[in-house]
Structure 1
């Protein structure tokens, strides 16, 4: 599941950079659309890294990932949160002005965020992936999954499932289905993911 989420983060960052690079000066509709997509991405990435700090890190320590590694993840999260805040401001400015100059400024902020975020995702995967696979049935990992499930309500979960599946590879979709029962995906993503499919997914089409 972690790599499925990371895949969605990487996809959106690439999408934003391409969209901002091609932004037509003065296109207020496009600026508003990109900001809708940004609002979703901002919420998803914030939820992910805050949830990791509160839920995932203790579980990872419980299966043997050392404290210094977890501390380095937290430092990377702090840098990512700072770049996320800067990009949030740039995207809000673009929504207000819809100028090519502000699209360029947002693209620069997005590029910096992408470097910070993807660097962290790569590091986290290198340090934790084998341990998570090895301890897949460990009680600490099972409890981590339950805590993440309880963290959000059906509406937010539905948007999340719609988001991670939007543009996902066959490998990522397979991994998702292994982690989440099919009926849950169908109900949550189908019913509660409608707002994402209506308001955000078309931005990338």
Structure 2
């Protein structure tokens, strides 16, 4: 599940870079749409990393991931948070100005954010995938899953699942359904994910070619 979230993060970063590169000067509707998508992305990434601090790190420690490794993850999170804030500032400027120059500035900030983010995601996956598979029956790992499932209310969870399923990859969609019961996806993603599908998903029409 963690890797699927990471793939959604990488997917959106690619989408932002593509959309900003193609931005037409003065297109206020597009600038507003990209900012709506940014607000969702910023919320998803922030929620994910806060959840890791509160829930995942203690579980990883319990199954033997070392303190220095966790500390390195925290340092990477701090770098990402700084770049996320910088990108947010520029995306707000683009929303207000709809200028090509601000789109270029946002593209630079997004590339920087992508660099710090992908570096962390790759590192985290490298260090944690094997221990998590090896200890998938460990009480701390099972408790981690339960705590994540209870972390959000229906509206937040519905947006999350709609965001996760907004992917050009049928493999990712199938993998998500292996981890989350179909009725849960139908009710939460279907009912409570309507706002995402109405306001954010259309922003990405035509931007997924070559998405990683």
Shared fold (TM-score, shorter chain, > 0.5): yes
Assess if the C-alpha contact under 8 Å between 1:34 and 1:203 holds in 2: yes
Q: Indicate the larger mover: 70-79 or 165-174.
A: 165-174
TM-score (norm 2): 0.95
CA deviation profile, 1:128-161 (whole Å, cap 9, x unmatched): 0111111112111111111111111000000000
Tell me, in whole angstroms, the C-alpha distance in 2 between the residues paired with 1:199 and 1:145. 29
Secondary structure (helix, strand or coil) at the match of 1:24 reads coil
Whether 2:191 is the aligned partner of 1:196: answer no
Map of 1:99 onto structure 2: 99
User: Within 5 A, what are the aligned runs for 1:118-197?
Assistant: 118-167=118-167, 169-197=169-197
Secondary structure (helix, strand or coil) at the match of 2:150 reads helix
Tell me, in whole angstroms, the C-alpha distance in 2 between the residues paired with 1:138 and 1:173. 27
Alpha-carbon distance, 1:176 to partner: 1.4
User: Within 5 A, what are the aligned runs for 1:30-41?
Assistant: 30-41=30-41
Tell me, in whole angstroms, the C-alpha distance in 2 between the residues paired with 1:169 and 1:136. 26
Map of 2:60 onto structure 1: 60
Assess if the C-alpha contact under 8 Å between 1:86 and 1:109 holds in 2: yes
CA deviation profile, 1:17-64 (whole Å, cap 9, x unmatched): 000000000000000000000000000000001110111000001111
Unmatched runs of 5 consecutive residues or more in structure 1: none
Unmatched runs of 5 consecutive residues or more in structure 2: 206-212
Assess if the C-alpha contact under 8 Å between 1:28 and 1:98 holds in 2: yes
Tell me, in whole angstroms, the C-alpha distance in 1 between the residues paired with 2:135 and 2:201. 35
The number of residue pairs the alignment matches comes to 205
Whether 2:79 is the aligned partner of 1:69: answer no
Across the aligned residues of Structure 1 and Structure 2, the Cα RMSD in angstroms comes to: 0.8
Q: Indicate the larger mover: 160-169 or 62-71.
A: 160-169
Assess if the C-alpha contact under 8 Å between 1:8 and 1:168 holds in 2: no
List 4+ stretches of structure 1 deviating above 6 A.
Answer: none
Tell me, in whole angstroms, the C-alpha distance in 1 between the residues paired with 2:49 and 2:2. 11
Map of 1:8 onto structure 2: 8
TM-score (norm 1): 0.98
Assess if the C-alpha contact under 8 Å between 1:158 and 1:193 holds in 2: yes
Alpha-carbon distance, 1:168 to partner: 5.0
Alpha-carbon distance, 1:177 to partner: 1.5
Map of 2:85 onto structure 1: 85
Tell me, in whole angstroms, the C-alpha distance in 2 between the residues paired with 1:57 and 1:169. 29
